[in-house]
Structure 1
Amino acid sequence: MKALPTLPALITACFLIGGCDRAPVDDETSREPIIAPELRANQVAEAPSTFLHHAGNSKIHWQRWNPDLLQKAEDSQRLIFALIGSARYPGSYETLSALEGDPDIVSRLNNDFVPVLVDLDICRETALMASALSAEARTGVSFPFLLLLAPDGSPVSWLPIRYENDPALLQFFDNSVEVLARLWAESPKYVLEDSAAKTTLRKANIPAVDPAVDDPDERDTLYRSSIRRLTSFYDEDVQTLAGTGGLIPLGVLEAISVASIHPDLPDDLKERSTRTRDGLLDAILHSAIIDPLDGGIYTARRGSSWNLPIFIRDCATQARAIRIFCRLHVEGANPDTLDSAKQAASFAESQFRTSEGLFAMAAQPSPTPDGDWLWTIEQLKAVLTAEEYKVWDTLSEFDRLGNLPSEADPQRRFFRLNSLALRKSFEDASTESGLTEAEVRTLAESGRKKLLKAREERFPSPRPDGTPSATASFRMVSAYAALHTATGDPVWKEKAQKLGKLCRESFGDARFLNERPGDNPEPMSDGRALTYAIAAQAAMDLGAVTLEDEWNLWAQDLCTLLGENFVSGGDRLDEARPGSKVINLDYEDRSMVFGDSTAGLTRLNLSRLAALGFQTPPALHPWTESIPPIDENPVIYTDSINALAHGKLRHRIAVGPDAPAPMADAIAALPLERFERRSARQPGGTVEIIGPDRQASTLTTVAEIKALDSTKD
């Protein structure tokens, strides 16, 4: 969309230079402001978010993100000063601490604005808004994000905050708050009219909906073109795929792995997909993005190297990685993926499981690790014995000048520092070190424990968060279900079943989902559209491994609620329900800016429901036909690409209630999504399978069922 100049650009310039030209002074005499009592005190102490109630003792009168804000801002004749962040985004904690520690800024925010603190993990529409506004200003989105709103909800100005240090941040805020307060005081009419005009223009310029593609041949052509283009981005020499950005490319890995077994792709493209998958996966598995000390998976890298992560982990990333790693494993990828999935599950349980048995999204807000997470040679030798150091040196490739490539650290901020990673297999380390593989494993493990203890002493991990998250908890249901299909171990199925029931009781006991436990959610924690899509996916995953059809029925109910309450204009998926909206601007979440998109995951869910024999909820029918430009920019549409592939791979299995237990167990262990399962009346306990060609056949033995999953041979 074309950038919008004038006021946002004017104020952004003011942010940078600390002053601006005077706007026209209003001629009208302002009425007396009415300050609601709530604006005179901090309102986030009991908020449904640890990130928010962490600031509950702040002297800033932080308010919650809900529609009532607009009336309070109008009555008080103040701009809304919204700071959007999260405990899982670096700089959010530091920004809050710096603002709260400056008395002048505290006073200005309390007296001149309606200060609002927003957790983007529960108010996801604010993250989408930040992304859209950043694109409008031709800059990348980052958090925390400052958003100034007029009392009618129109954006006035915005700016991503890239935290570096307290003095720089305070100077920025000092200048920006002063300028905005003066501009609003001198000419509120000008600000209101300009921001309202820009909002009207934004509504007119919202991108068109994704076009419907009805012709099967055209859909097949789009799929082949997107996979061909996706694999063309891969550089085998450096094992990287251009255009994936800093997030761990889980969606890309899944899409090319699916393509490697797709029956309608030519052999050369399937072979290229396999090479791309294996090369990219090898680079990820043997990098610092997977922590070798505790098994946790980092969400993203900084710069160009996976050996320099952003040292923050969250539960959703662990769960999503587990599910996709398990899929990669059952489709014949690197066997280390299953070990990584199990380690990530252990890490998630130790760091994010709450006392109720649910899962939090992230740990409590805390300073972001930086160089403290890296090691000098001297620090490593002080912790490890000579034999342990030799093994870890072989595995991580230490260097006295630091083992990060110069392109990953061009400013040499981490000069002489080393990241830890299992860059080599234990077998290769054995050959290189002259030790037996058993000795390498023993020394690596004893060294791991010492290094983990030393790191905790240098920079303690943030304390666990006791606030359960619907998104994280439903994601872990899917993770457990995937681990069952990858291992056949009933323990994982039992965990999935127990957590699924608890999630349904905690987040879905009322008619609508809630982002946090409770029957009567306030607008802030009312379930967002992506939460419904994630919950529906988890329900079908649970139905697949338990063979209990009630979960498939609940998934259909969730999709029906999604269609009835989140679709506007007949063809757009809004992220928040009308009663929970603050800003009257709707950007459909159709591309993977923050992981799975709402539209892409919904497409996959609808395809799975159709395979199970359910009718598509009428309001969601457009998403069964529409396709985004997957062939132009496949990296950000891999969830929609996977939804398109699902129709060609899916098999529907009807399982009779009298099916022998060994047959039922074998069916439950089949890969998710490729085999959709329902309970049905089958004669004599037999099993019926209907393939993508809609041809039915009957299975009567465990061997026949296991033969369906040829990738496990």
Structure 2
Amino acid sequence: MKFTSPIFAAAISISLICCKSKSTSEDQNRIPPEVVPEIQENRLGEEPSAFLASAADSKINWQPWSPEVLDFAKRSQRMVLVLIGTARYNGCFETLEALDRNPTMVERINRNFVPVLTDIDLTRETGLLAYNLSSEAKASVSFPFLILLSPEGNPVTWHPIQYKSDRETLAFFDNSIEVISRLWSDDPDYVTNDSALKADLRRDSLPDPDKEVPEMEERQRRYEAAMRRLESFYDEDLTSLAGSGGLFPLGVFDTLALARYDESLPPSQRQKFGETLDSFIQTLLSSAMVDPLDGGVHPARRGSTWNLVMGRRDCSTQARAARIFARMHQLDGYPGTLEAAVGAIRFAETYYQTPNGLFSLSEKPDSMETKSWLWTVDQVSSVLSDDEFKVWKTYSALNDIGNLPSEADPNRNYFRLNSLAAAVPPEEVAKVTGFDLAEVKSLIESGRKKLRKSRESRAPRPAPDHSPSALASFRMVSAYASLYTATGDASYLEKAVKLGEASRKHFLKNRFLNERPDGEPEGASDGRAFSYAIAIQAGLDLGAITLEDDWYLWAQDLTTLLAENFVTKEGRLLEVRQVSQVVEIDYEDRMMVFDDSTAGQLRLNLQRLLALGFQTPPSLSAWLNSLPPIDNFPIIFTDSLIATAHEWNHLTVKLGRESPQELVDAVRTLPLQLFVRRREGSDGVTITLQNDTEISANTAEDIKNLIQKP
């Protein structure tokens, strides 16, 4: 059965107009298409991405995302078919497999288009493109996402692909390819000119850069309004945050935790933040979002319950979660946060660490059935001993009819199925089961090992990816640094420094950041602005825990490199260097569509450098004093909220170069961001308070007491 989406229906109507305007003389004068050897073969074999590598043996002649595909398209007189996806999202790998299993579809794509496959974790700008095109249609963005480009690199038409089955996916492609091929065949000049006109309109209608707010008092006023609005979105009864969607709300946790220490906010408001965090964090930690079997953190949920998760995970989520959970533990000792941070780190080390000690973005993608992560009561009981089952039945709140709420499963697709989670604290389990606490913990652990082994037999883990990623590796540097400050465990300090040195060595070639280690940055492997921002954060964190200026200077050098190559004359922040740009529409990554935004992370990096006494590039000064609409849309700007508050919500610590080791260690383990520190002078410790008053700290206990509990 064929069907026509609204967007492709519009394409059909355009094609009818094209038929009327087609010029015979233009056809006669057109240069015959050239046979381009590069597009006669699949060229994904060397791309640094498990998602792209999964299609390296595809019969479709996939090309990497690079400006050269436009040259191929012009010479062959074809449109560019771009499929945007990632190993993290359900449906992306399945769509690739569905296409590859159909020889007719493979032949049509190869014959009519220059096919390009992109990974949004590498080419972040393609995700931004999909997001902005979806916004034009007033629709939510989802992946995989199909875009057809003219040979000049202008979007012609686009549509998300909601993978449900091979049949529906192939029907969608069959219809869309038929329509767009006829459209191009009837009048390619019209398609080229019309898409160019629309691209010009998009450039003209790009949002203005964020407005400068020169007065600190006004920035503080808008920040306070944003924080009130952010906290008001939390519904204690539903334990959810309105407007946050299904992503793990790590940014919200971090914002509220840091704001608890912001003395510019009223004490009553700071107390309310703590109450919200107490409730919200325990809900998430006791849900399936933090896997009770392997400790890995899930990036998103399915539907309306935190107990129905998206099974695919990635290294960046583990590193980001570990960094934020460790800080929450260090600042306020929220129960379970340190265990969650350590679990996320161990999960990342187990499944994403490559043989050379760096980290990959994800595992190799494969088909995943949601039900394979869920259990009937009988399945659980068949794996465990009687005592283990008694404990786990209470611990995970198992139920014969299933433990997912009916509103989260209205069609009863998961009837009698249970999600495993640390739903009930061990202390409560002991009261219910009659076992003592030590025995409960022992039975939980022995049952965990058995259940994990059973799950992996039903749903084998994906194969590991041995392609190191700059983004994942620098994320892990910051995760190790945060765990070191939270625990004082020197092994995390050693891991952070070792990984930081290896990443700096392998991912920078001829000054530029490269996602492929030890290679030249080009096309998809050329580091994006977000990767630079995360690398700069890693450098600042390493400087903070080692107190070595070399790391701070390296972070400053990367910031200068970013300023020179990622800012347009109009003052827009590019996500990709112009040499690697394919679609020349300068969408800025200024809001948290996927996780942190490039603009928000850049703002925080600049504030930290400035607080340390370093000069920041003039072309980036706008990001120091400008603000997005944080008071209207705080949830999607939590990274900018944190950066804004850092201007006044931090203490500056100066440590003498001849200070005793106990003072050095105490300064090194101060919470990141709330304390900026640097070696200066001969001995002793000087702290500059928020009111610019300087005080001295003579002992390690004095330094620890700087963290005043709200």
Could you tell me which residue of structure 2 aligns to residue 391 of structure 1?
Answer: 391
Whole-angstrom CA distance in 1 between matches of 2:7 and 2:684: 70
What amino acid sits opposite 1:216 in the alignment? M
Could you tell me which residue of structure 2 aligns to residue 629 of structure 1?
Answer: 629
Could you tell me which residue of structure 1 aligns to residue 421 of structure 2?
Answer: 421
CA drift of 1:243 comes to: 0.8
Could you tell me which residue of structure 1 aligns to residue 80 of structure 2?
Answer: 80
Give the secondary-structure state (helix, strand or coil) at the position aligned to 1:199. helix
Structure 1 position 12 matched with structure 2 position 16: no
Map 1:203-242 → 2, pairs under 5 A: 203-242=203-242
Whole-angstrom CA distance in 2 between matches of 1:223 and 1:555: 27
- Runs of 4 or more off by more than 6 Å in structure 1? 17-20
Question: Is contact 1:481–1:542 with CA below 8 Å preserved after alignment?
Answer: yes
Give the secondary-structure state (helix, strand or coil) at the position aligned to 2:492. helix
Question: Is contact 1:496–1:542 with CA below 8 Å preserved after alignment?
Answer: yes
CA drift of 1:518 comes to: 2.1
CA drift of 1:656 comes to: 2.2
Whole-angstrom CA distance in 2 between matches of 1:510 and 1:678: 29
Question: Is contact 1:45–1:54 with CA below 8 Å preserved after alignment?
Answer: no
Could you tell me which residue of structure 2 aligns to residue 692 of structure 1?
Answer: 690
Which of 12, 20, 23 is 2:18 aligned to? 23
What amino acid sits opposite 1:446 in the alignment? S
Deviation string, structure 1 residues 168-189 (Cα, Å, up to 9, x no partner): 1111111111111111111111
Whole-angstrom CA distance in 2 between matches of 1:499 and 1:580: 28
Give the secondary-structure state (helix, strand or coil) at the position aligned to 1:142. coil
**Residue correspondences, number:** 702
Map 1:295-444 → 2, pairs under 5 A: 295-444=295-444
Deviation string, structure 1 residues 318-377 (Cα, Å, up to 9, x no partner): 000011111111221422100110011111000100001000010012112411110011
User: How large is the RMSD of aligned CA atoms in angstroms?
Assistant: 1.6
What amino acid sits opposite 2:217 in the alignment? D
What amino acid sits opposite 1:26 in the alignment? K
What amino acid sits opposite 2:22 in the alignment? D
Whole-angstrom CA distance in 2 between matches of 1:405 and 1:363: 31
Whole-angstrom CA distance in 1 between matches of 2:140 and 2:400: 35
Whole-angstrom CA distance in 2 between matches of 1:518 and 1:576: 20
| 427-436 or 222-231: bigger deviation | 427-436
Question: Is contact 1:18–1:179 with CA below 8 Å preserved after alignment?
Answer: no
Could you tell me which residue of structure 2 aligns to residue 4 of structure 1?
Answer: none
**Structure 1 residues not aligned, in runs of 5+:** 1-7
Could you tell me which residue of structure 2 aligns to residue 293 of structure 1?
Answer: 293
Q: 1:26 to 1:333 in 2, by over 3 A?
A: farther
Q: 1:316 to 1:18 in 2, by over 3 A?
A: farther
Q: 1:399 to 1:14 in 2, by over 3 A?
A: farther
Map 1:489-500 → 2, pairs under 5 A: 489-500=489-500
Question: Is contact 1:607–1:646 with CA below 8 Å preserved after alignment?
Answer: yes
Deviation string, structure 1 residues 471-503 (Cα, Å, up to 9, x no partner): 110000000000001101111101101000001
CA drift of 1:50 comes to: 2.5
CA drift of 1:290 comes to: 0.4
Whole-angstrom CA distance in 2 between matches of 1:437 and 1:125: 51
Question: Is contact 1:26–1:188 with CA below 8 Å preserved after alignment?
Answer: no
Give the secondary-structure state (helix, strand or coil) at the position aligned to 2:513. coil
What amino acid sits opposite 2:499 in the alignment? L
Whole-angstrom CA distance in 1 between matches of 2:694 and 2:9: 66
Whole-angstrom CA distance in 2 between matches of 1:521 and 1:532: 13
CA drift of 1:14 comes to: 6.5
Question: Is contact 2:64–2:523 with CA below 8 Å preserved after alignment?
Answer: no
CA drift of 1:102 comes to: 0.5
Deviation string, structure 1 residues 214-262 (Cα, Å, up to 9, x no partner): 1111111101100000011111122211111111000011111122221
Could you tell me which residue of structure 2 aligns to residue 506 of structure 1?
Answer: 506
| 440-449 or 51-60: bigger deviation | 51-60
Question: Is contact 1:91–1:368 with CA below 8 Å preserved after alignment?
Answer: no
Question: Is contact 2:79–2:114 with CA below 8 Å preserved after alignment?
Answer: yes
CA drift of 1:705 comes to: 1.3
Whole-angstrom CA distance in 2 between matches of 1:387 and 1:298: 29
| 48-57 or 595-604: bigger deviation | 48-57
Could you tell me which residue of structure 2 aligns to residue 3 of structure 1?
Answer: none
Question: Is contact 2:47–2:525 with CA below 8 Å preserved after alignment?
Answer: no
Question: Is contact 1:477–1:499 with CA below 8 Å preserved after alignment?
Answer: yes
CA drift of 1:638 comes to: 0.3
Whole-angstrom CA distance in 2 between matches of 1:509 and 1:498: 19
Deviation string, structure 1 residues 492-536 (Cα, Å, up to 9, x no partner): 101101000001001124301112212411122111000111001
Give the secondary-structure state (helix, strand or coil) at the position aligned to 1:648. coil
| 294-303 or 409-418: bigger deviation | 409-418
What amino acid sits opposite 1:695 in the alignment? T
Whole-angstrom CA distance in 2 between matches of 1:635 and 1:486: 26
CA drift of 1:399 comes to: 1.3
CA drift of 1:11 comes to: 4.4
Give the secondary-structure state (helix, strand or coil) at the position aligned to 2:162. coil
Which of 690, 706, 709 is 1:708 aligned to? 706
Q: 1:11 to 1:180 in 2, by over 3 A?
A: farther
CA drift of 1:20 comes to: 7.1
Question: Is contact 1:52–1:117 with CA below 8 Å preserved after alignment?
Answer: yes
What amino acid sits opposite 1:53 in the alignment? A
Map 1:530-609 → 2, pairs under 5 A: 530-609=530-609
Could you tell me which residue of structure 2 aligns to residue 64 of structure 1?
Answer: 64
CA drift of 1:130 comes to: 0.6
CA drift of 1:666 comes to: 0.7
Whole-angstrom CA distance in 2 between matches of 1:577 and 1:540: 23
Whole-angstrom CA distance in 2 between matches of 1:102 and 1:629: 47
Deviation string, structure 1 residues 431-450 (Cα, Å, up to 9, x no partner): 12221111111111111111
What amino acid sits opposite 2:319 in the alignment? A
Whole-angstrom CA distance in 2 between matches of 1:562 and 1:522: 16
Map 1:194-273 → 2, pairs under 5 A: 194-273=194-273
Could you tell me which residue of structure 2 aligns to residue 131 of structure 1?
Answer: 131
Whole-angstrom CA distance in 1 between matches of 2:482 and 2:564: 30
Percent identity of paired positions between Structure 1 and Structure 2 = 50
What amino acid sits opposite 2:92 in the alignment? S
Whole-angstrom CA distance in 2 between matches of 1:413 and 1:504: 48
Deviation string, structure 1 residues 551-609 (Cα, Å, up to 9, x no partner): 11111111111111100134211000000000010111110011100000111111100
What amino acid sits opposite 2:111 in the alignment? N
Question: Is contact 1:14–1:176 with CA below 8 Å preserved after alignment?
Answer: no
What amino acid sits opposite 1:640 in the alignment? S
Could you tell me which residue of structure 2 aligns to residue 5 of structure 1?
Answer: none
Structure 1 position 107 matched with structure 2 position 107: yes
| 148-157 or 411-420: bigger deviation | 411-420
What amino acid sits opposite 2:405 in the alignment? P
Question: Is contact 2:544–2:678 with CA below 8 Å preserved after alignment?
Answer: yes
Deviation string, structure 1 residues 90-116 (Cα, Å, up to 9, x no partner): 111111111011111111111110011
Deviation string, structure 1 residues 608-644 (Cα, Å, up to 9, x no partner): 0011001121110000010000000100000000011
Whole-angstrom CA distance in 1 between matches of 2:570 and 2:487: 43
CA drift of 1:74 comes to: 1.0
Could you tell me which residue of structure 1 aligns to residue 650 of structure 2?
Answer: 650
Could you tell me which residue of structure 1 aligns to residue 679 of structure 2?
Answer: 679
CA drift of 1:161 comes to: 1.0
Question: Is contact 1:19–1:179 with CA below 8 Å preserved after alignment?
Answer: no
CA drift of 1:18 comes to: 12
CA drift of 1:700 comes to: 2.3
Question: Is contact 2:686–2:696 with CA below 8 Å preserved after alignment?
Answer: yes
Whole-angstrom CA distance in 1 between matches of 2:323 and 2:47: 31
Question: Is contact 2:486–2:671 with CA below 8 Å preserved after alignment?
Answer: yes
Whole-angstrom CA distance in 2 between matches of 1:363 and 1:501: 24
CA drift of 1:46 comes to: 2.1
Whole-angstrom CA distance in 1 between matches of 2:508 and 2:57: 31
CA drift of 1:451 comes to: 0.5
Could you tell me which residue of structure 2 aligns to residue 140 of structure 1?
Answer: 140
Whole-angstrom CA distance in 1 between matches of 2:468 and 2:707: 36
What amino acid sits opposite 1:12 in the alignment? F
Question: Is contact 2:485–2:670 with CA below 8 Å preserved after alignment?
Answer: yes
Q: TM-score, normalised by structure 1?
A: 0.96
Give the secondary-structure state (helix, strand or coil) at the position aligned to 1:460. coil
